[in-house]
Amino acid sequence: MKNEPMSVSQVLMLVKNFTIILLSKTRSGKIAKKLISQKKKIESSARDFLSNPLGYNFFENKMFLSGWFADDDSCPEIEETNMTVDQALEISEIFGRVMCTNFCSETEAEKLIKDKDKLVSLADDLFEMSPAFNLFEYNRYVKHAPLSAFREVCTWDRSIFIVCTADEVCEPYGFKSGERVVSSNHALETIIGVAPFWFDKGAPLAIWTASDDNKFRDPTRVVVGAWKERDLKKIGFVSTTI
């Protein structure tokens, strides 16, 4: 039996729930204005919410066409204020248009309506502007980063991918790329870079480190493992000269 597309009432319920969540806490009016004027981040996040994300594959250059620009970061002409109700409604309207124009079945829509945590995560993620912690902002950042800011690595089972080693994406985790650390597992490791963490949909980005214990697994590339915690120092990482 063919599953019917999401109904109008389901769309309205999702938009209503999303609006309530947007207004449930104080949010930046400056970021809200930026989100509304560009729209791409809201649209991409809404598609991801419907499980229709744009893919990430560095080698095939399949990355978000974000439409953001470097000079968007400062917005000096915008005074920092709290998000208004009107701004929340504008963001919800863009979210609603994606709900109407991208396929989602009635069954899946019902699950999304009940999953309030996923909507909360979407709203909070929209207002996270760090390329270290937000996948959209990371993809936007790496499009403008120099080639020197990337390194090819592999996992212990030889899955090959690219990490970004720039300070802007590494330092928010507590360390720069290349720093030697003792991890919370008491292992000697080297900070390498940041890249999507495909093992866990709840943590789209992670910082990848090379453990001395794994360095002989591949003679041609640095072998890395991932840490998805946002503050490595908080979980026991310390710098070392060893």
Q: For the chain, what percent of residues have pLDDT higher than 90?
A: 74
Round the average pLDDT of the chain to a whole number and report it: 88
Alpha-carbon distance of 193 to 167, in angstroms, equals 9
Same domain membership, residue 41 and residue 12: yes
* Residue 2 in domain: no
pLDDT at 100: 95
Higher pLDDT, 218 or 221: 221
Q: pTM for the whole thing?
A: 0.84
* 60 pLDDT more than 80: no
Distance set, CA 218 to CA 74, 154, 180 (Å)? 42, 8, 20
* 30 pLDDT more than 90: yes
φ and ψ of 240, to 5 deg: -145, 155
Structural contact between residues 66 and 136, judged by C-beta atoms closer than 8 angstroms: yes
* 79 pLDDT more than 80: no
Structural contact between residues 73 and 34, judged by C-beta atoms closer than 8 angstroms: no
* 77 pLDDT more than 90: no
* Residue 139 in domain: no
* Range 85-89 average pLDDT: 98
* 201 pLDDT more than 60: yes
Gyration radius of the chain over CA positions: 20
- The residue type at 148: S
Range of the domain at 233: 147-239
* Residue 22 in domain: yes
* Residue 3 in domain: no
* Residue 136 in domain: no
Name the domain count of the chain. 2
Question: Worst-scoring range by mean pLDDT, 9-18, 69-78, 93-102?
Answer: 69-78
* 129 pLDDT more than 80: yes
